[in-house]
Amino acid sequence: MPELPEVEIVRRSLDKKIKQKKVIKVIIRNRNLRYKVPSNFATFLKNQKIKKVKRISKYLILYLSNKSYCVLHLGMSGTIHIIENKKKKFFTNTSFYSSPLLPKKHNHLEIIFENFKVVYNDPRRFGFFQIIEDEKLLTKRFSHLGPEPFDSKFNENYLMHFFNKKEKKIKNFLLDQNFVSGIGNIYASEILFLSKINPNKKAKLINQIECKEIIKNSKKVLSEAIDKGGSSIRDFKNILGKEGNFQKNFNVYQRQGLACKRNLCTGFIKKKNISNRSSFYCNNCQK
């Protein structure tokens, strides 16, 4: 599943392309996504101008000219493709973890603009579109999410309060979107490595210094991933034909059995399942 950095890259691509553009029409080929595409979706979007594209956690938000919103979540396998009417681009994919070209199957929805169209492809159909009618409802829709790592609310007091007397493992906390939104499995492993914290460690044992490290390294890892175009751990190239490069910087993720990259560390990277998710860590420097 695309994590915060990958969704941010998609947001930037979309915002650059569709900002201030008017929707001519919407074609829905399959309503049966994770949630059914609303019956009025095509008429609701028609003739709306896209004011901007924003992101909340792993969700894309289209701000519409009638002061309503369209929420898009890519799910496990959703990708967005931009198809030009006249000039043919070799790479159409603005998304991650899939073909750089528009697949022949599973193109469920098309948003048509004057000179191009945006196609939503999703083989597993875990993504969805949702209409939000006003700002109050938008705030309510995402009220369950914790702050993002870049938010000032994600601070020492917040972490210490959450971790107090909790038996839950720290890795599970970083994946809990109610605690902090946007971090997924790849980046949780990398954050804990830089913080020298074992993913199995119980939250109640995390001290104040370790909280500072988690906050600092959450920002560091996600910022670097965004700067490097995200992580391409499968067959992905973006709309410019470039792969995300952050996977070249992995310290632990998918490096089981290899030597630790930390200077002077003699440890090796281990892999362990925690709550059915693969966790990677150094057996020597992560305590």
Q: pLDDT tens-digit profile of 148-160? A: 999 999 999 999 9
Q: Which residue stretches of the chain have pLDDT < 50?
A: 231-245
Question: What pLDDT does residue 95 have?
Answer: 72
Model pTM above 0.75: yes
**Quick one: 85 exposed, middle or buried, by C-beta within 10 A (0-12, 13-18, 19+)?**
exposed
The kind and range of the H/E element at 129 are: strand 128-132
Render the burial of 235-253: b for 16+ CB within 10 Å, e for the rest.
ebbbbeeebbebbeebbbb
Report CA-CA distances (Å) from 36 to 32, 56, 125: 5, 21, 10
Largest CA distance in the chain: 62
Q: What is the pLDDT of residue 230?
A: 56
User: Is 206 within 8 Å of 159 (Cβ atoms)?
Assistant: yes
pLDDT at 92: 87
Query: Which amino acid makes up residue 88?
Result: K
118 contacts 89 by C-beta, under 8 angstroms? no
Calculate the alpha carbon distances from 118 to 84, 110, 127 in Å: 9, 6, 15
pLDDT for 148 equals 97
Residue 236 to residue 77: CA distance in whole angstroms: 12
The H or E element spanning position 160 is helix 156-163
Q: Please choose, from the candidates 158, 141, 138, the residue with its C-alpha nearest in 3D space to the C-alpha of residue 149.
A: 158
Contact between 63 and 53 under an 8 Å Cβ cutoff? The reply is: yes
Residue 234 sits at the vertex; the CA angle it makes with 228 and 239, to the nearest 5 degrees, is 55
Q: From residue 284, how far is each of 162, 204, 263 by CA, in Å? A: 27, 21, 12
Take residue 233 and report the two structure tokens written for it: 């751990």
Question: What is the pLDDT, as a whole number, of residue 241?
Answer: 46
Task: Copy the structure tokens of residue 25.
Answer: 């029409």
pLDDT for the residue 194: 98
Give the angle 161-199-142 at the CA atoms, nearest 5°. Answer: 50
Task: Name the residue among 92, 106, 19, 102 with its Cα closest to residue 60.
Answer: 19
CB of 197 within 8 A of CB of 211?
no
Q: Which residues are catalytic?
A: 2-3, 58, 277
**pLDDT at 219 (0 to 100):** 97
Helix axes 208-227, 4-18, angle to 10 degrees: 40
- Phi, psi at 113, each rounded to 5°: -110, -175
d(CA 228, CA 245) in angstroms, rounded, equals 5
For residues 268 and 283, the answer to whether their CB atoms sit within 8 Å is yes
Ordered by where they begin, the domains of the chain are: 4-141 (3.20.190.10), 156-282 (1.10.8.50)
Show the tokens assigned to 17.
Answer: 């392309």
